[in-house]
Amino acid sequence: MTETESREARTAKLEGLGTKRKRVEDARFTQGKGNYVDDIRLPGMLFGDFVRSPYGHARIKSIDASAALALPGVKAVLTAADLKPLKLHYMPTLAGDVQAVLADEKVLFQNQEVAFVVAEDRYIAADAVELVEVEYEELPALVDPFKAMDADAPVLREDLAGKTEGAHGPRRHHNHIFTWEVGDAGGTQAAIDGAEVVAKEMISYQRVHPCPLETCGCVASMDKVNEHLTLWGTFQAPHAVRTVASLITGIPEHKIRIVSPDIGGGFGNKVGVYPGYICAAVASIVLGVPVKWIEDRMENLSTTAFARDYHMTGEIAATRDGRITGLKCHVLADHGAFDACADPTKFPAGFFNICTGSYDIPVAHLVVDGVYTNKAPGGVAYRCSFRVTEASYFIERMVDVLARKLEMDPAELRRKNFIDKAQFPYTSALGWEYDSGDYHTAFDKALAAVDYQGLRAEQAANRQAFARGDTRSLMGIGVAFFTEIVGAGPVKNCDILGLGMFDSCEIRIHPTGSAIARLGTISQGQGHATTFAQILASEIGIPASQITVEEGDTDTAPYGLGTYGSRSTPVAGAATAMAGRKIRAKAQMIAAWLLEVHEGDLEWDVDRFVVKGAPERFKTMAELAFAAYNNVPPGMEPGLEAVSYYDPPNMTYPFGAYICVVDVDADTGVTQVRRFYALDDCGTRINPMIIEGQVHGGLTEALAIAMGQEISYDELGNVHGASLMDFFLPTAVETPAWETDFTETPSPHHPIGAKGVGESPNVGGVSAFSNAVNDAFAHLGLTHTQMPHDHWRVWKTAERLGVAE
């Protein structure tokens, strides 16, 4: 049938690795046919809504729900007192702390959950929320992390009274969570003390929020007859939710089904476990009918999964000619009222210890102190790769600060200190083994692409013109180079609540040669149904268009740890390739049987096995699929299925070079991103179009963070930035045109050489914007200003430097 088709034509038909295959998801999404959690409607379903605290810190004197219960249509009002007998008023967090499901005697942040009203519809529930009378006694709020461990700081967590040991070691103050130390303290201090030049800076990365278009939510449905609980929800890790739900509720795990339907953006916001999930489940168990809970925008921004809030003091030592000799960093980490960071268990500050970045730094030392404040919990979210965004921002600002001190070009200083290609696999001073990289090639390509020397010459001319009064605009050039660490990842290092972070793929080939693949991950917009089929197409020779990819239903998908930390490609992508290879190995045995040759006499050719030296004798994968169901070698089981649980030997280390050119109006502080060039290296590229989309999205979020986003609190503990009136969400108007580029350095340990990419543009992007804004004022003596670089703050900087009119 296809004998005459060329190898190229057969390869093209597969739409495998490297193809710009169009997203198969989009037919559904662009026609409004997605199925999101709020689309789920079940007979008799009730709606839950929260009574929330108006105070940042207060004692609850009393709760009176009688007026709410009297409202027609209200079915129940849950408070901590109702949850206590079930031992569900606190829930375990992913970081080994506990979090109040409903406030127990005290509220610890504004908008904290105090009571859960269940009613016949959302509107009645919202009206009833207003009728619940809560009497509070206000307490002094603690919002400044730098004051959290003062001797007279207010005691926040009374539930932890007397607890001197936390999940990550000893606690030395009532608001202290953990101290995490990595590296060589003595050696680093010696390097700093003996250095020719030392640059020091305190770099804050403000509190922000990922703000996905779809907020968090769930539908809980308890079938009391079969004692079976189904939970549909916005979960980035459905299997982990099932295990945790079983442990918390005591319902056997086989009687729980977790389903993540379509998810409208996650960005880390949907990794954690929230009070709404527990309350909806409890309400459904108690009332015996389905209960839905969906956050509104303000609830989302002010109560679930903030990101960052890291205050990083660095010292970087160097020789006068620009060779970095040591790096020291202290981080004050504001975790809010409960430590609900979603990090692998052994890493209370995530992978922040990749803060030596892309540089060959001989010695380094890092200390992170985590503290409680009267703010919302969360801490790991927002395209972060487990705190790599903070680490990357820190080192990329520090290198610029050092460059200023050395009066050296920041690009030249980077180039001089890069880990060399020949040094890979490279072990960093803080203990990571970088799998592969070629930083000089990528960086040189980036500098050439933007004509870096030309830009600097233009900037020099701009500065002279500004000094003469010929222009009111200052030109800034931001250079950033990042190394990511994604693919958690080795079970021996990485687990969450004891669950090793492997991932999985199960494949079934149907008799007519099409297939279904199920994975332990879950797409939230990344296009997994498109790209994972491409990996398989190349492995098993079945066109991607004939492979269905399914994720997110724990009753059908193999166990996996979910999608975050850009781990799907490095881990589940590897499992997909490995499962595909098992399919191919069995198909080869069937082919040998059918062609009456020895297996070793066959070779794989795109979509078929061919007898070596006899190209006219072959069996296509479609033929072998059918044979698997009716004519297999004696003793072989029929069928063609495989499953792989993949425990990666190491993480993958994508990298990239980003360059930003910004024009700053000195009189108004208005910034205009004139140009942004992003070169990404994520190893073998599965779908260049999807990668480009990921980079565009991540850069837009980086722009948002660097130039305007902030969730701040006033001294009373009131949260600011909790609505889209105050929280900057860029639209097409603010977003510049992105220029993307790539190099391709495969991962040596990944079966197809692919590294993750989802978070790279955010990890690398924020520093490029921030470096550009700082650079615009560098000739006026500025070394560092804190983000966000919104117009007001930029204008303040210009004013402080005496150039604003």
**Is 524 near ligand MCN (CB under 6 A)?**
yes
Catalytic one of 218, 341, 355, 384: 384
Enumerate the β-bridge partners of residue 762.
none
Q: Which of 215, 300, 353, 566 binds ligand MCN (CB under 6 A)?
A: 566
**Is 564 near ligand MCN (CB under 6 A)?**
yes
Beta strand ranges found along 319-359 (DSSP E): 324-334
Q: Which residues contact 99 (CB under 8 A, 6 or more apart)?
A: 90, 91, 92, 93, 275, 338, 340, 377
Query: Which region among 39-47, 76-84, 667-675, 753-761 touches ligand MCN (by CB under 6 A)?
Result: 753-761
Task: Report, in Å, the least distance between residue 682 CB and ligand MCN.
Answer: 4
By C-beta, is 124 or 544 nearer to ligand MCN?
544
What does 305 bind: ligand MCN, ligand CUM, none (CB cut-off 5 to 8 Å by kind)? none
What does 683 bind: ligand CUM, ligand MCN, none (CB cut-off 5 to 8 Å by kind)? ligand MCN
Query: Which region among 110-118, 131-139, 474-482, 691-699 touches ligand MCN (by CB under 6 A)?
Result: 691-699
**φ, ψ for residue 351, nearest 5 deg:** -95, 35
* Closest CA relative to residue 462, chosen from 453, 452, 472: 472
Catalytic one of 15, 299, 396, 759: 759
* Closest CA relative to residue 654, chosen from 677, 679, 682, 693: 682
Query: Which region among 164-172, 401-409, 438-446, 558-566 touches ligand MCN (by CB under 6 A)?
Result: 558-566
* Closest CA relative to residue 261, chosen from 641, 590, 551: 551
**Is 489 near ligand MCN (CB under 6 A)?**
no
What does 380 bind: ligand MCN, ligand CUM, none (CB cut-off 5 to 8 Å by kind)? ligand CUM
**Is 673 near ligand MCN (CB under 6 A)?**
no
Catalytic one of 236, 534, 588, 709: 236
- Rounded-to-integer distance, Cα 335 and Cα 341, Å: 8
Assess whether 112 carries a catalytic annotation.
no
- Rounded-to-integer distance, Cα 589 and Cα 92, Å: 49
Beta strand ranges found along 190-343 (DSSP E): 197-208, 217-223, 228-233, 256-259, 291-294, 306-318, 324-334
What does 682 bind: ligand CUM, ligand MCN, none (CB cut-off 5 to 8 Å by kind)? ligand MCN
Residue 317, helix vs strand vs coil: strand
- Positions touching ligand CUM (CB under 6 A) are 236, 266-268, 271, 380-384, 564-565
Residue 619, helix vs strand vs coil: strand
Q: Which residues contact 798 (CB under 8 A, 6 or more apart)?
A: 664, 666, 667, 669, 777, 804
What size, in residues, is the chain?
A: 805
- Rounded-to-integer distance, Cα 631 and Cα 617, Å: 18
Catalytic one of 52, 308, 383, 387: 383
By C-beta, is 564 or 655 nearer to ligand CUM?
564
Assess whether 759 carries a catalytic annotation.
yes
For CA atoms 379, 381, 387, 389, give the dihedral sign: negative
Query: What tokens does 416 get?
Result: 């001089």
Task: Report, in Å, the least distance between residue 455 CB and ligand MCN.
Answer: 30
**Cα dist. 606→6, 14, 104 in Å?**
11, 9, 62
- Rounded-to-integer distance, Cα 2 and Cα 621, Å: 12
Site for ligand MCN in 257-296 (CB under 6 A): 265-268
What does 541 bind: ligand MCN, ligand CUM, none (CB cut-off 5 to 8 Å by kind)? none
- Rounded-to-integer distance, Cα 448 and Cα 56, Å: 52
Q: Which of 117, 388, 691, 705 binds ligand MCN (CB under 6 A)?
A: 691
Q: Which of 188, 243, 373, 563 binds ligand MCN (CB under 6 A)?
A: 563
Q: Which of 568, 588, 644, 745 binds ligand MCN (CB under 6 A)?
A: 568
By C-beta, is 397 or 528 nearer to ligand MCN?
528
- Rounded-to-integer distance, Cα 368 and Cα 348, Å: 9
**Is 552 near ligand MCN (CB under 6 A)?**
no
Q: Which residues bind ligand MCN (CB under 6 A)?
A: 212, 265-268, 383, 524-528, 531, 563-569, 682-687, 690-691, 694, 697, 754-759
Provide the annotated active-site residues. Answer: 236, 383-384, 759
